[in-house]
Structure 1
Amino acid sequence: MNVNRRSSISEGYRNIRTNIQFSGWNQNLRVIAVTSTQAGEGKSTTISNLAVAYAQEGKNVLIIDADLRHPSQHSIFNLSNRVGLSNLLADQCSYGDIVHSTVVENLSLVTAGPVPPNPTELLSSDKLPEVIAAWKECYDIILLDTAPVMAVADGLIVSSLADGAVIVILAGKVKREYIQKAKEKLEHAKASILGVVLNQKKYSKSEANQYRYYHQ
């Protein structure tokens, strides 16, 4: 996570934030899912830095770690994951028990909680839409960290509940056919794809940002 406003990485995420806003100029994009085709493409780092970019703009931001199988946001923000989203979805705690403040002003986090035996079942229940609707009353932007869409159905379920979805792709590591299949899966789940973040693409010094965003 980068909080230095003057760094090239922060500038890259501000550009992504702006491009997302422009790609949804005729929509009210308040809930955005960030996913990937497979593990290890940088989606969780991308979503945490994107959240910082929104928070530094003055937005009241909430990250929800909805990757119940391999959660990571608690590690990024150095917070406890003892109780989180999985507990709330299983009616084991209340809303206020799992919202954490972070070191970044205007940015809060809901950790994933303990890995449950039935993540897909929990995420596909009626509880998650209810939870998101409740938090929309309190936050300007909600960012959903989801499981990779080619691995399990979890990421598709969560992405379908968002106003739009962004796919993070690790440059040079994912076959075009695999990306196309992920796109088709999201569209079949009726997720609105906003664009793609190309992670670790090598550019010339004049194009130094680590991330690039391509909208639909």
Structure 2
Amino acid sequence: MARNKGKQTGNRNQRKLITMWDAKSPISEQYRTLRTNIQFSSVDEEIQTMLVTSSGPAEGKSTTAANIAVVFAQQGKRTLFIDADLRKPSSHYTFSVTNTFGLTSVLTKHSNLEEAVNIVEPLGLHVLTSGPIPPNPAELLSSKAMKELINEAKNDYDLIIIDTPPVTAVTDAQIISSLCQGIVLVVSSGKTQIEDAIKTKELLTKTGTKILGVVLNNKQMKDNTYYYYGNH
């Protein structure tokens, strides 16, 4: 079966995927540190399914999730990135791939996983975009088909990274978390309110899925013009 292949083009996309266009930058190094910390976050089992989310919009979760996927693919892991933000998807812009078919196409049986996946070269990173935006995102994400898709993907990939909508906006992230082994929460320096972060942590904790850590995004260091990404 022929598969689509995406290639990053344009300054906007390059800025988002700094781990691809400037792998030696301090920011890229922070993403590799984040990768290492994720790998050591669980001593009992290897993390294979991971959800990335945030408290609110525009806090950098999608950019963070995409770059995490890139550094794992650079390590040689067979990685699948799933854009499960069915309300405001962005992966097709970030990776410059088509969105004719995607997650919603697979969940509604209009396509299978192999047909819907885009391969981003030269990494070999597999990207499942959102597909056409549905009128019922929560129902699709909580469906039996979603669970079946994750189980199928687990047989084919070393790591599955899922980007979801913000936690305080809708319940989608909480729904999907039950299918994942761990959660990475993204907070934005100077933007995320402490009370929102605490509420988000409480909501995610109730799902029973382990919070692997928190990524502090957009923290500008005084001694460097770069923005560093750190995790706790």
TM-score bin (small chain) = over 0.9
Q: Is it true that 1:90 corresponds to 2:108 in the alignment?
A: yes
| Per-residue deviation, 1:209 | 5.5
Partner amino acid, structure 2, of 1:50: I
Q: Gaps spanning 5+ residues in structure 2: where?
A: 1-16
**Structure 2 partner of 1:166:** 184
Of 51, 54, 74, the match for 2:72: 54
Normalised by the length of structure 2, the TM-score is: 0.88
Partner amino acid, structure 2, of 1:88: V
Partner amino acid, structure 2, of 1:54: F
Partner amino acid, structure 2, of 1:53: V
Assess if the C-alpha contact under 8 Å between 2:51 and 2:177 holds in 1: yes
Partner amino acid, structure 1, of 2:171: A
Any idea what the Cα deviations from partners look like across 1:180-205, whole Å, max 9, x if unmatched? 10011111122211110000112232
Assess if the C-alpha contact under 8 Å between 2:182 and 2:210 holds in 1: yes
Q: Is it true that 1:175 corresponds to 2:193 in the alignment?
A: yes
**Structure 1 partner of 2:7:** none
**Structure 2 partner of 1:115:** 133
| Per-residue deviation, 1:101 | 0.4
Q: Distance in 2 between matches of 1:101 and 1:127?
A: 22
**Structure 1 partner of 2:167:** 149
Question: 3-state SS of the aligned residue for 1:148?
Answer: coil
Aligned residues: 214
Assess if the C-alpha contact under 8 Å between 2:60 and 2:188 holds in 1: yes
Question: 3-state SS of the aligned residue for 1:121?
Answer: helix
**Structure 1 partner of 2:97:** 79
**Structure 2 partner of 1:20:** 38
Q: Distance in 2 between matches of 1:143 and 1:134?
A: 14
| Per-residue deviation, 1:103 | 2.5
**Structure 1 partner of 2:207:** 189
Any idea what the Cα deviations from partners look like across 1:47-104, whole Å, max 9, x if unmatched? 1111111111111111011111111011000011111101211122222221110134
**Structure 2 partner of 1:205:** 223
Q: Is it true that 1:35 corresponds to 2:49 in the alignment?
A: no
Of 126, 139, 146, the match for 1:128: 146
Partner amino acid, structure 1, of 2:76: G
Q: Gaps spanning 5+ residues in structure 1: where?
A: none
Q: Distance in 2 between matches of 1:190 and 1:81?
A: 32
Deviates more, 1:56-65 or 1:1-10: 1-10
Q: Distance in 1 between matches of 2:176 and 2:145?
A: 12
Partner amino acid, structure 2, of 1:131: L
| Structure 2 CA distance for partners of 1:104 and 1:38, relative to 1, 3 Å | farther
| Structure 2 CA distance for partners of 1:180 and 1:207, relative to 1, 3 Å | farther
Question: 3-state SS of the aligned residue for 1:178?
Answer: helix
Question: 3-state SS of the aligned residue for 1:184?
Answer: helix
Assess if the C-alpha contact under 8 Å between 1:61 and 1:107 holds in 2: yes
Question: 3-state SS of the aligned residue for 1:183?
Answer: helix
Assess if the C-alpha contact under 8 Å between 2:39 and 2:46 holds in 1: no
Calculate percent identity across the aligned residue pairs.
44
Normalised by the length of structure 1, the TM-score is: 0.94
